[in-house]
Amino acid sequence: MNIPAARIYFPEDDRKTILKQIDGILDSGQLTLGKYGKEFEQKYAEYVGTKYAVAVNSGTSALEIILRALDIDDSSVIVPTNTFVATPASVIHAGGKVVFADITDNLGLKPASVRKVINKDTKAVFVVHIGGLIPPQIAEIQHLCQEHGLFLLEDAAHAQGSILDGKKAGSFGVAAAFSFYPTKVITSGEGGMITTNDENIYNRALVFRDQGKAGFLGNIHTELGYNWRLSEIHAAVGLSQFARLEQFITDRRRIARFYDTELKKADKVSPIKIPPGAKSNYYKYMAMLKDDIDRTALKKELKEKYTVSLSGEVYELPCHLQPIFKTRYGFKGGEFPVAEDLCQRHICLPVFAGMTEEQARYVVESLKEVLA
Ligand SMILES: *Cc1c(COP(=O)(O)O)cnc(C)c1O
């Protein structure tokens, strides 16, 4: 049985509808910032439970726009070291300084590590919902931010539809960034979304995404913006997937429950604990290997002998050890021991919309054989 690491899923009906809509878009001549983008924003804001949403052309753009709308300038932003490069890179693109922090065993930012690095230059803290899990310690980080007058921001690229204590990802911080890159839980081809309750961030985000223009039709530039617009074609694709989001998450949770039950019986690998109150969308199904297991060899054998592809780690190498940041900030390794350990030891089992229990069973059986 051939098990891919992920699957991009557009049912035939959806493809037909999208094609019809694209035909209409081309015929109308309104190719960007039109009704599909607006509808996507309205539905997304309503779903997340925020007043506003702004559609943009990538998750990376969403991150940078949020930071620019908050005038981060040359202040510091605290970022967990186990994240995608776009999180810290967006801080640098917005003119700020990245300050990394360590994580806890649920792969989320560790409050004590954040507290240690807060100083007079700090302006914001990014929480990243790794693998789709909103870390419950976000409450403590929220508190820290209030205490020190910092902005709490969410990189929710992994977390469309994830919930903690009844609240959706994207509604915890001052603003949140989502990604609709093809590997994410839903995709628009390329695309992203900002959610916020803050009217000022909302208004400035609209201006930033369109070259800093004060209005769509005018030619007065009040900010230094960029072309961060989402085309109508991408918005139509995104809307189609958005209508499937709950179904996709239900599928992923069903597979995750199966893995949970099966892995309880395994002794060399254990799932990341999902704390009570948290409902992951299972963008990733993350599990920890015992320290003496060689992950590279394990993945190779699973792929070559069993045709099972594990999905990409989140993340294989913490950002402070990526050459770009290691050199820039002079890290040597050992600075963030929990992240360094967990990044090295976790695996992500395949999980995707439409995955069958038979496929999941084959994954677990193959994994058990390789580990035996
Ligand atoms: C995918 C991702 C991004 C970037 O999103 P793009 O749409 O690819 O620009 C940012 N942060 C995290 C954590 C991501 O996984």
Q: What is the DSSP string of 20-32?
A: HHHHHHHHH---B
- Residue 191 Cα to ligand 1 middle (Å): 10
- Residue 84 Cα to ligand 1 middle (Å): 7
Record the pTM: 0.98
Tell me the per-residue pLDDT of 87-146, one tens digit each, with 9 for 90 and over: 999 999 999 999 999 999 999 999 999 999 999 999 999 999 999 999 999 999 999 999
Give the tokens for residue 343.
């990044």
Tell me the per-residue pLDDT of 171-180, one tens digit each, with 9 for 90 and over: 999 999 999 9
Give the tokens for residue 302.
């699973």
How are beta strands 269-271 and 192-196 bridged, if at all?
Answer: unpaired
- Give the residue whose CA is nearest to atom 3 of ligand 1: 59
282 Cβ contact list (under 8 Å, min separation 6):
131, 132, 249, 252, 253, 255, 256, 351
In 3D space, the residue among 291, 281, 287 whose CA is nearest the CA of residue 349 turns out to be 287
Query: Tokens 């890159």 identify what position?
Result: 181
**Do you know the residue count of the chain?**
372
Q: How many CB atoms lie within 10 A of CB 123?
A: 21
Atom of ligand 1 nearest to the CA of 61: 9
Q: Which of 56, 57, 58, 60 to mutate to test the pocket of ligand 1 (most atoms within 8 A of CB)?
A: 60
pLDDT band of residue 218 (cuts 50, 70, 90) is: confident
CA atoms in the 13 A half-sphere facing the CB of 79: 26
pLDDT higher than 90, residue 215:
no
CA atoms 351, 131, 188, 53: torsion sign: positive
Instruction: Let me know: does 239 contact 43? Beta carbons within 8 Å.
Output: yes
Q: Which residues line ligand 1 (CB under 6 A)?
A: 58-60, 83-84, 86-87, 128, 155, 157-158, 179, 181, 192
Q: Which of 64, 65, 84, 160 to mutate to test the pocket of ligand 1 (most atoms within 8 A of CB)?
A: 84
Alpha-carbon gap, residue 158 to 180, rounded angstroms = 9
Give the tokens for residue 82.
């186990």
Backbone angles phi, psi at 229, to 5 degrees: -75, 150
In 3D space, the residue among 318, 256, 233, 321 whose CA is nearest the CA of residue 32 turns out to be 233
Task: Return the domain boundaries, the chain.
Answer: 12-242, 245-371
pLDDT at 216: 80
* Residue 365 buriedness (CB in 10 A; 0-12 / 13-18 / 19+): middle
Residue type, 152: L
* CATH topology classification for 12-242: Aspartate Aminotransferase; domain 2 (3.40.640)
In 3D space, the residue among 127, 215, 210 whose CA is nearest the CA of residue 171 turns out to be 127
Q: What angle do CA 313, 315, 320 make, to 5 degrees?
A: 160
DSSP, res 217: S
Q: How many CB atoms lie within 10 A of CB 185?
A: 27
- Residue 63 Cα to ligand 1 middle (Å): 9
Alpha-carbon gap, residue 149 to 353, rounded angstroms = 41
Tell me the per-residue pLDDT of 34-86, one tens digit each, with 9 for 90 and over: 999 999 999 999 999 999 999 999 999 999 999 999 999 999 999 999 999 99
How are beta strands 97-101 and 151-155 bridged, if at all?
Answer: unpaired
How are beta strands 269-271 and 175-179 bridged, if at all?
Answer: unpaired
- Residue 59 Cα to ligand 1 middle (Å): 5
Give the tokens for residue 91.
């801080």
- Residue 190 Cα to ligand 1 middle (Å): 10
Q: Which of 67, 93, 179 to mutate to test the pocket of ligand 1 (most atoms within 8 A of CB)?
A: 179
Q: Mean pLDDT over residues 339-367, rounded?
A: 97
- Residue 179 Cα to ligand 1 middle (Å): 5
3-class DSSP state of 120: coil
- Give the residue whose CA is nearest to atom 6 of ligand 1: 59
- Residue 55 Cα to ligand 1 middle (Å): 14
Atom of ligand 1 nearest to the CA of 179: 7
- Residue 157 Cα to ligand 1 middle (Å): 5
Class of domain 245-371: alpha beta
**DSSP-assigned beta bridge partners for residue 176:** 154, 195
Atom of ligand 1 nearest to the CA of 87: 11
Tell me the per-residue pLDDT of 286-322, one tens digit each, with 9 for 90 and over: 999 998 999 999 999 999 999 999 999 999 999 999 9
Give the Å distances, CA to CA, from 267 to 139, 154, 288.
33, 34, 11
